[in-house]
């Protein structure tokens, strides 16, 4: 049975109450002893789209991490980016404690502590969200831990951050540490990075660990018979505008990214060429950086047409051309949030819609091919209140009906079955 209007209102209020109560400044406190239990949840498989994994770094000091979720492939509706990386938290040195500590600046802190706003919406679309970790000009970094105990302590801080904020993993970036330049802090060594990834993997066996292939650590990717590829899921080229595959023992091309582009400065021809080389070389990652609020769909389409044989569209752009072969329903108004695959003409009960990624009582906007019509029903099996739309509709709250003498409802978050004609 469909929920009553009063039930919906009460449920929404309870959800609101539950959620509502829920580079160098301000250390975040962590409890390492909680970390091991925090990562028992299995990491879900990345996007099943046929082609390389799209990885995007977002400098959250100046850009919104939610930009990563704005781009989908036009025909399949799949996300262009599979991994979004929050850039970046820091490794600082705490002289009082005599150890490396994890610090977040105000912008990173804002993203992490407001996970329901910035992290969970991306994860709801199937995008994995990682936190990047790099040095902070204090002599501490991923390459100068001098004991397994010290590496474990920092790994526990990272693991606990993943648990606390519901992240999908950690990305390592061996820059700006300034090893050997700060008093008695040691220089980089042969064992540090390997000890760190071993300890982090033991604490979060089902999360993602990635490696931005730069710094002293690239020369120390095996130690005491162990290889970095046994603990790290992915590694990618850190030099934007170049094509160069990392050399990580134990990782094959399917887990490497040779292409690295800055979406604001790498030319279209270079980006497209890198996409061709990615396919021909069998590389499993394409790396993007500096995704801003500008609509980059045209630029990204040049890449996605090579990688996936599809254009890229920005789902926040309400002037999008309609899809060509099916209706696409969206979780939010203005074609925002998660999206279904293109749904062909036909009559669809709830279970049939769900096969296309539709969720009950969820849809807020729809794109229709030119000349198509959709009849939207509040109940399963084409019953209840209905609305007929004859064109793409950006906001279901504007679709109203009067099911009773004293009640008016809109179509937002109400749809359970559809006829597409």
pLDDT tens readout for residues 174-229: 999 999 999 999 999 999 999 999 999 999 999 999 999 999 999 999 999 999 99
- Say what the pTM is: 0.70
List, by residue number, the catalytic residues.
Answer: 175
Cα–Cα distance, 254 to 373 (Å, whole number): 42
Determine contact, residues 145/185, Cβ cutoff 8 Å: no
Confidence band (pLDDT; 50, 70, 90) for 359? very high
> pLDDT by residue (tens digit) across 134-153?
999 999 999 999 999 999 99
| Backbone phi, psi, residue 170, to 5° | -130, 140
pLDDT of residue 318: 64
CB of 290 within 8 A of CB of 261? no
Q: 58 and 64 in contact (C-beta within 8 Å)?
A: yes
Q: Are strands 285-289 and 53-59 parallel, antiparallel or unpaired?
A: parallel
Element at 410 (helix H, strand E): strand 407-410
Coil vs helix vs strand at 133: strand
Residues of the chain within CATH 2.60.20.10 domain(s) are: 328-420
CA-to-CA separations, 15 to 8, 20, 22, 378, in angstroms, rounded: 11, 8, 11, 21
Task: Evaluate whether the domain defined by 26-314 bears CATH number 3.20.20.80.
Answer: yes
165 or 46, which is more confident: 165
Quick: pLDDT tens for 67-84: 999 999 988 889 999 999
Which pLDDT does position 338 carry in this prediction?
84
Superfamily of structural domain 328-420: Crystallins (2.60.20.10)
Residue intervals of the chain classified under CATH 3.20.20.80 are: 26-314
């Amino acid at each position: 049975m469909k929920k009553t209007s009063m039930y919906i209102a009460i449920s929404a209020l309870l959800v609101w109450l539950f959620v509502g109560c829920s580079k160098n400044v301000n250390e975040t406190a962590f409890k390492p002893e909680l970390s091991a239990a925090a990562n028992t949840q299995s990491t879900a498989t990345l996007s099943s789209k046929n082609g390389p994994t799209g990885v995007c770094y977002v400098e959250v000091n100046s850009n919104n991490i939610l930009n990563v979720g704005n781009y989908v492939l036009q025909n399949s509706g799949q996300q262009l980016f599979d991994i979004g990386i929050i850039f970046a938290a820091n490794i600082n040195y705490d002289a009082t404690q005599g150890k490396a500590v994890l610090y977040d600046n105000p912008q990173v802190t804002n993203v992490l502590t407001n996970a329901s706003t910035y992290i969970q919406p991306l994860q709801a679309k199937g995008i994995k969200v990682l936190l990047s970790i790099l040095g902070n000009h204090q002599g501490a970094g991923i390459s100068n831990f001098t004991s397994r105990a010290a590496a474990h302590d920092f790994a526990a801080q990272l693991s606990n951050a993943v648990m606390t904020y519901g992240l999908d993993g950690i990305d390592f970036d061996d820059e700006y540490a300034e090893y050997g330049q700060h008093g008695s802090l040691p220089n980089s060594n042969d064992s540090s990075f390997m000890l760190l990834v071993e300890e982090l993997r033991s604490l979060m066996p089902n999360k993602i660990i990635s490696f931005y292939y730069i710094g002293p650590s690239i020369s120390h990717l095996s130690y005491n018979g162990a290889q970095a590829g046994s603990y790290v899921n992915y590694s990618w080229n850190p030099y934007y505008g170049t094509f160069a595959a990392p050399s990580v023992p134990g990782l094959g091309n399917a887990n490497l990214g040779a292409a690295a582009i800055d979406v604001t400065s790498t030319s279209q021809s270079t980006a497209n060429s890198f996409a061709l080389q990615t396919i021909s070389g069998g590389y499993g990652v394409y790396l993007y950086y500096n995704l801003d609020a500008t609509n980059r769909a045209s630029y990204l389409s040049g890449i996605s047409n090579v990688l996936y044989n599809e254009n890229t569209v920005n789902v926040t752009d309400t002037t999008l051309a309609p899809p060509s072969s099916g209706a696409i329903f969206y979780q939010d108004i203005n074609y925002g949030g998660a999206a279904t695959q293109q749904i062909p003409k036909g009559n669809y009960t709830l279970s049939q819609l769900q096969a296309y990624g539709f969720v009950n009582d969820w849809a807020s906007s729809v794109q229709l091919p030119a000349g198509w019509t959709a009849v939207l029903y509040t109940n399963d099996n084409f019953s209840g209140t209905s609305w007929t739309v004859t064109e793409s509709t950006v906001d279901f709250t504007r679709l109203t009906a009067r099911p009773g003498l004293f009640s008016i409802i809109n179509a937002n978050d109400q749809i359970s079955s559809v006829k597409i004609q």
